Structures are given as C-alpha cells and as structure tokens.
Structure 1
Amino acid sequence: MSKIYDLVIIGGGPGGLSAGIYAMRAALDTVLIEKGVPGGQVTMSDEVENYPGFSHISGAELSMKFSEHAQTYDLKTISDEVMEVEPGLDYHLVKLANKDILKTYSIILATGGSPRKLQIPGEDKLYGKGVSYCAVCDGFFFRNKNVIVAGGGDSAAEEALYLAKIAKKVYIAHRRDTLRAGMLLQKRVKADSRIEVLWNTVLTEIKADENGVCGVGLKDTQTDELREIEIDGVFIFIGFNPNNELVPAGIVMNAQGYVVTDEKCETKIPGIFAIGDLKEKYARQIITAASDGCTAAIAAAHYVENKKAA
C-alpha cells in the first residue's frame, strides 16, 4: 500500500493496451490489470478487415500484436480480477480479488462489454450445449449442421459468413426487414447460397433433446405467427452491454449504462477515465477503442503531472 502508481489501467483490450503504450511512452509508472486473455472481444473475431494497416487479419493475431507492442515498453501487467474501485481525493484505490490493494493517482476503466442475451427459455440452460455467443469459438462443433444466427448488425453478418464456411445451412433471424450491417457485409450475406435470412423474425424459445439443441421457436414480428424449425446450434449476436460493475458512485452513466465523459475521456471524478465499449460514443470499433486509449493516457499524464506539482 505504500507505493502509489501514476496510472492503473483496468482491462486489456485494444483500448487498454493502447493506453498502456501511450502511458509508457509518457513515462508514467503504470500497471495494466486483465483477468482474461489480452485483446478482449477482438480475440473472438475470425476476420478483421477495417483496422488501418491490415487489410485482412484475424482478431487473435491483431490482439497479439497489440499485446506484443505494449510489452516492448515493459508494461507491467497483473492477471487478476478487480473487485472494486474506490475514489479518493489524494489518490484512488483499486482492490483485487487476491486481496491486494493498489494506490494510484489515475485510473483508466477499459472493461468493455459483454454479449447481450435474448432472455428466452432455453438460452441459459443450453449455453455450451448448442447455444453460443462466439462463432469462432464454437463453429467447429457444427460442421455440416444447421444453425441459426440471431441479430442483424455487423457482428451477426460476420459470424454468419464465418459459419457458412462450416455449417450445412445458416439462418439469420432478424426482427426487421433490412439488416443493420454495413453494405459490404450485406452483399456478402446475400451472395452466400448457404445463408438464408428470415426477415421480421425473432426467436421465442430454444428447444433441446438428450443431445442438446434440436430446434427453435420463431415468431413473425408483423403477424405474430408462431412456428418451429429444426436447428442444431444457436448463435446470438444482438449487441453488448457495458461492463459497468466497477464504475464508482459519482460517475455519470446514460440510460443504457454507458459512462459519460468529456473529450479527454475523463469522468466526473478527476483522474478516472473511461474508454472503449464502456464509454458513451457514436461508433464502437477497434480503432475508436484504441483512439480512446491514446486520448485517456495522454490526459492521465497531464493530470498526474499537475497532481504531483500541486
């Protein structure tokens, strides 16, 4: 408890790792805490085609490059879970699951988000038994089988295209009559003979037998007509919820639970910053998370400098 870090970064995704790079370049005494695999949600992406400098790269490889770059600056990392962030006037406290407590002048919250659930019967019970939120992780188990993807955005389209390389048939159930995915992805989906889009359709139930998922209940959003189809796997990509459990009282969040910051990514509590998928913003992309990390680290460096000079 005697040592006071200049900066503690909570989360090792693209935003957190970018913050680590800029913090080390600013000579901040920094530690990054990540409870899982460095890279965050990016590691689960089969293909990344919109990060500048890489026309085509896997999410796992891009994450590795982020991590390796950060380690060239000897960024200190701790593999543990943060249980609580306690703001203070002179410094802040970061409490870990292993009972360690870190003192720090500044904190960057880069905790990202978690897959949003459909909240329908069978979803939780059958998770890992035919229900998945990651096609790259679990697509292999559905080779030459029939699967359904719930969602209509970029993630749903990307995962459907990935599954189409493996599965016999891929359905996309989308509650509207047009996809929300980018036009390039929409063209690819429509051109793939193994993909069929079920327009104006939502899942109502996931059914199972002794082997796992065997079918789903569907409802037409316009007519309320109900029907069932036989399915071996269900992949859900309907967005993410911000991982805001560590956000301390006194920090403003919007109605969706995203943290409100200023242009420096700083919250209402001086010295605490929020970036990436945790932050209220227009676009949620790898590049915007990395940009947030840069901004927050530079702002933290100025904050710490002023704090020490006071």
Structure 2
Amino acid sequence: MNKFLEHAKVSGSEILNDNVSEIVKNNDFFTIKTSSKKEINANFILIASWNKYRQLNVSWEKEFIWKWVSYCATCDWMFYRWREVVVVGWWNTALTEALYLAEICMKVHLVHRKSEFRAEKVLIDRIESHKNIEIILNDEVEEIKWNMFVEEILLKSWKVLKVDWIFVAVWNNPETKLFEPLWIELDESWYIKVDSRQKTSVEWIYAAWDITTNSNKFQQTLMSAAEWALAANSIHEDMLKLGN
C-alpha cells in the first residue's frame, strides 16, 4: 500500500486523510464536502468505496476477524487447507464457497438458520450429494469457543462443531448509501451499475472496486486493480475529448 501511495504522490496526486460527507452535483461540476468542512470541486469523480461484510454478531467474532473468522474463502484458502471448517450462509455465494472449500478442506459444515436454501437448484443438488459437506439446517451459530485458537463452534441447538475456522457468507453491504442523492443506478443488491468503461448512469461519475456490477462481482484485488485502471483510463479519454 505504501508503494501505491508513493507512486500517487510522485504522479502529482494530493492525498487527503478525510471522510467524504456529501457530494453535490452542480451544472457542470461536483462539489465534494468532507467531515473536516473542506470543499473540493471536480469535473469527474471515481467512486472506489468498499463492501462491508455482514457479521454474525456472536461472541469473539470481531476479535478473530481475519485470524480464524473469514468472509472470503478464495482470499484465505491457504489457511483452511486440510482443516475442518464451518460455512454460514444460504445464498449462492455460501453454497459456491462450501463446494470450493470441500475440495481442499478435511470437512465442511454448512449451517443455515432456515429449513431450505435460497440458491440455484444446481448448487443445492451438488451440495446435497457432496460426501465432504455436512448440511445443518434450522440452526445458527451461538458462540465461538477458543483456547489460543478456535476449537469449537456452539450452535443454538447446543450442537458442537469441532472446527479450525469459520467462514461467514451471509451478505455483503456495498457502501453506496452516500451516493443515493446523486441518483446513481444500483442493482437489486445495491451495487453500482457500470458499463464496459466503468461509467455509471450519471455523467462524469465512474466507479470501481468491490461495489460495482463489473468483474461478475468477483471481489479480488486483481479485479479491483483492473477496474481502477480501466476507470482512470476512461476518465483520461473523456478529459481529452472535453479539452481538459
């Protein structure tokens, strides 16, 4: 990250450690207001906010985030390998990640609080027929038990799962609420809709990173970097067209 910052500074970028509180659309420019009462005028905006992972809100979850509690199986697979894990969730994402982990983990427990999954039938069929996945329905995580490392997961049914890692695949909340007054078009999950140039539905506003509909929502650093580069190039092209 420090190398990225140094490169940005060398390129002439101004780095502001501040929070954006409001964006106002004027006739031909935008005014960005910050928490420290600064106001910045800009002709173009590149939105690069993040996804907020929805948590289970159980004991010791926050303390163990990215240690023994994860929200991205493809990010942390090297820690799960040959271990026993639990996946919590019910959408396509949870089932897909459970299938992925089942190929590299000793055992996968898939926990869902209701009686059936809300996912594609082909995924449900594969989950139900996979010998390395235990399906636990009508149950929820009550507590994470540990002794130096995570050792057990206690469910509300009082069932105990002896696992090494817990993966939460409940829901992601894209941080897009700030942009609602701009009337940027979102999809049904509140991700910002962008075209092939990372352009949003609002003229001169672009978006990249985990909060867009691009890259098939495959939220990896490589994909985010590609979206940033594409958006920056699109802005540069449009600036040239306008004579800026």
TM-score interval (norm. to shorter): 0.5 to 0.7
Separation in 2, partners of 1:230, 1:176: 22
The amino acid that maps onto 1:87 is: V
Q: Which residue of 1 aligns with 2:70?
A: 132
Q: Which residue of 2 aligns with 1:151?
A: 89
Q: Does 1:121 align with 2:59?
A: yes
Q: Which residue of 2 aligns with 1:204?
A: 142
The secondary structure found in structure 1 opposite 2:150 is strand
Separation in 2, partners of 1:226, 1:236: 19
Q: Does 1:187 align with 2:125?
A: yes
Separation in 2, partners of 1:272, 1:143: 41
Contact between 1:152 and 1:238, CA under 8 Å: does it hold in 2?
A: yes
Contact between 1:276 and 1:288, CA under 8 Å: does it hold in 2?
A: no
Q: Which residue of 2 aligns with 1:175?
A: 113
In structure 2, the CA distance between the partners of 1:82 and 1:162, relative to structure 1 (3 Å rule), is: farther
In structure 2, the CA distance between the partners of 1:79 and 1:134, relative to structure 1 (3 Å rule), is: farther
Query: Equivalent residues in 2 for 1:74-153 (5 A)?
Result: 83-84=19-20, 86-89=23-26, 90-93=28-31, 103-107=41-45, 109=47, 111=49, 113-153=51-91
Separation in 1, partners of 2:191, 2:82: 43
The secondary structure found in structure 2 opposite 1:234 is strand
Q: Which residue of 2 aligns with 1:18?
A: none
Runs of 4+ more than 6 Å apart: 78-82, 273-277
Instruction: Report the TM-score, using the length of structure 2 for normalisation.
Output: 0.65
CA shift, 1:260, in A, is 9.3
User: Number of paired residues?
Assistant: 209
The amino acid that maps onto 2:151 is: C
CA shift, 1:273, in A, is 6.8
The secondary structure found in structure 2 opposite 1:201 is coil
Separation in 1, partners of 2:77, 2:216: 26
Separation in 2, partners of 1:166, 1:231: 15
Instruction: Report the TM-score, using the length of structure 1 for normalisation.
Output: 0.52
Q: CA RMSD in A?
A: 4.4
Separation in 1, partners of 2:150, 2:103: 21
Q: Which residue of 1 aligns with 2:151?
A: 214
Separation in 2, partners of 1:156, 1:201: 15
CA shift, 1:143, in A, is 2.7
In structure 2, the CA distance between the partners of 1:266 and 1:171, relative to structure 1 (3 Å rule), is: same
Separation in 1, partners of 2:32, 2:171: 29
The secondary structure found in structure 2 opposite 1:137 is coil
For structure 1, the residue ranges without an aligned partner over 5 or more in a row are 1-33, 38-75, 220-224
Query: Equivalent residues in 2 for 1:1-310 (5 A)?
Result: 83-84=19-20, 86-89=23-26, 90-93=28-31, 103-107=41-45, 109=47, 111=49, 113-210=51-148, 212-219=149-156, 225-244=157-176, 247=178, 250-251=181-182, 258=190, 266=201, 272=205, 278=211, 286-287=215-216
In structure 2, the CA distance between the partners of 1:79 and 1:171, relative to structure 1 (3 Å rule), is: farther
Contact between 1:109 and 1:275, CA under 8 Å: does it hold in 2?
A: yes
Separation in 2, partners of 1:275, 1:142: 29
Separation in 1, partners of 2:209, 2:76: 26
Percent identity between matched residues is: 26
The secondary structure found in structure 2 opposite 1:186 is helix
In structure 2, the CA distance between the partners of 1:252 and 1:218, relative to structure 1 (3 Å rule), is: farther
Contact between 1:94 and 1:101, CA under 8 Å: does it hold in 2?
A: yes
The secondary structure found in structure 2 opposite 1:206 is strand
> C-alpha offsets along residues 103-131 of structure 1, whole Å, 9 cap, x if unaligned?
43243535352321111111101113311
Contact between 1:252 and 1:260, CA under 8 Å: does it hold in 2?
A: no
For structure 2, the residue ranges without an aligned partner over 5 or more in a row are 5-10, 194-198, 219-226
